[in-house]
Structure 1
Amino acid sequence: MLLCRKERSVKNIKLKMARVEKDMTQQDLADQVGVTRQTIGLIETGGYNPSLNLCISLCRALGKTLDEIFWGGSKS
């Protein structure tokens, strides 16, 4: 399923908010999941679509579920 830019942006905001709540920098998160800081920055700004494996790693590092960060949508 393709997401429109607005929907992708919401997901990326959720990722950034979860990272900030854990008091992590982009570099901290990148180190935990084995990618570069630039990759985390691109995911947060909507410039990179992460693989399912990377999504799972990000969620584990942040203590969140896939639904909370990537798949949970508003019902508006």
Structure 2
Amino acid sequence: MIKNRLKILRAERNWTQAALAKKVGISRQAVISIEKYKYTPSLELAFDIALAFNVPITDVFQKSEV
């Protein structure tokens, strides 16, 4: 499983799910699905999300042992 910190990073920046979705060119529903671990983003999308937050990809996504 790939864990993510989307919700935390969004909260730190006061971004809505819709704002993040617009920044990376996906739907708000896609952001919700990623945050709830119902969808694992492609590598390209993961890099786009990290770029939107201006952090390394490993600050957003990490592999879990679960």
Q: Sort the TM-score into its range (normalised by shorter chain).
A: 0.7 to 0.9
Say which one has the larger Rg: 1
Find the residue that maps to 1:67 and give its secondary structure.
helix
Segments of 5+ residues of structure 2 without an aligned counterpart are: none
More helix by share: 1
- After TM superposition, where is structure 1 displaced by more than 2 Å over at least 4 residues in a row? none
What is the TM-score with the length of structure 1 in the denominator? 0.76
How many residue pairs are counted as aligned between the two chains? 64
Find the residue that maps to 1:47 and give its secondary structure.
coil
For residues 72 and 65 of structure 1, do their structure 2 counterparts lie closer, same or farther at Cα, with a shift above 3 Å needed?
A: farther
The answer (yes or no) to whether the contact 1:43–1:50 under 8 Å persists in 2 is yes
| 1:39-54 aligned within 5 A | 39-54=30-45
Of 56, 60, 63, the residue aligned with 2:54 is 63
Which protein, 1 or 2, shows the higher relative CO under an 8 Å CA cutoff with sep ≥ 6? 2
The Cα of 1:72 is off from its aligned counterpart by 7.0
Segments of 5+ residues of structure 1 without an aligned counterpart are: none
What is the TM-score with the length of structure 2 in the denominator? 0.86
More strand by share: 2
1:24 aligns with 2:15: yes
